[in-house]
A and B are shown apart, each in its own frame.
Chain A
């Protein structure tokens, strides 16, 4: 863990993220200041700091997109660097259990992630309080805490992926590229692929006129199902719902029945925290599951590997 904090790589990435965080916070903060001038402050204004998109993107979107990079950067060479510098066999000849090595790598990484994220959220909150002059209520703080936990899990999942590659591949460059490839696949291609597949399975015309409604529904369903395979979708669905009490479902408007739409437009008050949590429980559970699954695979592969030095 000392390792992580003192490395130049880590300083660079966290500086970048803190910087972007601060910029977003001040941008959004000023935006909110302007918008809410002269009118009664809406509830949960504070959470807007994180979810409002401002001019470019919101902080939540930013972490959803670039958070994986933190995980990958922290993990991609964790095991194979020890192999390349020939410290691994020495390390394993000390009286420690073999799993201590991999556990420590993962836990140290996760701890660093947690510290960075908490720090950023605190910075943004501090700036936000100064800029918009609104102090968060207890529910907002709770929502933020849940958001933080989900984010730590999400980035730890990517940490796990990159540690897995560092166990499998001997060269650090290969493992870095492999983790980046997986990241790009899940961030860009899954959503593209979901669109293509949905078009193939339930083709709908471009014109919009004379469309078969069942086909549209099917199209939408296929697209949703496939994009849910991506941890990024899981994460962003979960966190936007948690941070935005006005959001009452993760489904798109097309898939709702008329009564559901009606009730949504009737009851416009924010959801209580518990209800928001209910909506995204499956997402959160899946996040926990894939994180642990990923680490479990890492653990197994590492424990079964031969320690030949050459």
Chain B
């Protein structure tokens, strides 16, 4: 297991890896995130749901320390991302929506650049680059310029890039958006295996419900900046659709919340 050791971070068993308390972000008069309370345990795959513009990306950016919260507290892997973004960024991976690469470099050069920014010595990083390219199944394409990659390949390369720094926690912002069915399946399997086999905590934001249902342990539903529900999917189903209902989809639950909001 290449990712089983050497993270060096704060190792805690089943403890909250993300903690948010009363987290609020305003842009002028517009409230993007309203009084968010949230706890993510180590090792879980969390699905963060909501329509476009619900404040999912803003929340992610606050967790990363790229945006300052207007009020409230956050702790990510034991650090405050606003005060101490350096330590947070060292140990978490972030895959933005529609991630970009330097198109005139090949896959290895792109990953190497990120490795250098993370101060990983070249000796160690070249092994890790091979490893993570293998995980995302891109080893054969490694010599091609990234500009020629398909959307699915770019997204998988994005995952490889995140794996380079051996993170404890990965934020994925709409990782399957714009992918064809095959690409989506590969992506989901990949995310699933990262969570299960490598025990990386995964925080996934999406509005594609059936996918989230397939791979997530717990979900949170955010609508217009409000976190309206949080918990395992079965629990939410019981609460919203009635105890007796056997076959439910996340979509039903979601629509119920959406209409109420």
Contacts and interface: CB of A to CB of B under 8 A. Distances in A.
Interface stretch (A87-95, A214-222, A253-261, A282-290): A87-95
Interface string B68-91: 000000000000000000110110
A307 B66 contact: yes
B102 A94 contact: no
A85 B100 contact: yes
Contact of B61 (A86, A87, A307): A307
Contacts of A97: 86
Contacts of A95: 86-87, 89-90, 117-119
A39 interface: no
Query: DSSP majority for the A interface?
Result: loop
A309 B97 contact: yes
Interface residues of B, number: 23
Contacts of B102: 85, 87
B117 A309 contact: no
A307 B65 CA distance: 10
A86 B64 contact: no
Interface in A32-67: none
A95 B101 CA distance: 18
Contacts of B48: none
A89 B96 contact: yes
A90 B114 CA distance: 9
A87 to B, nearest CB: 4
Contact of B57 (A85, A93, A96, A309): A309
Interface string B95-134: 0111111110000000000100111000000000000000
A306 interface: yes
Contact of B117 (A86, A96, A307, A310): A96
Interface of B: 57, 61, 64, 66-67, 86-87, 89-90, 94, 96-103, 114, 117-119, 161
B97 A87 contact: no
Contacts of B98: 86, 309
A308 B94 CA distance: 14
Nearest to A88: B100
A91 B117 contact: yes
Given A86-B100, A87-B101, A87-B102, A93 B118 contact: no
13 contacts: A82-B100, A86-B99, A89-B66, A90-B96, A90-B161, A93-B64, A94-B117, A95-B90, A96-B89, A307-B61, A308-B57, A309-B57, A310-B97
Nearest to B96: A89
Contacts of B67: 306-308
Going nearest first, the 4 A-B pairs with the smallest beta carbon separation are A86-B100, A93-B94, A85-B100, A95-B90
Given A93-B89, A310-B57, 8 more contacts: A86-B96, A90-B96, A90-B114, A93-B96, A94-B117, A95-B86, A95-B90, A307-B66
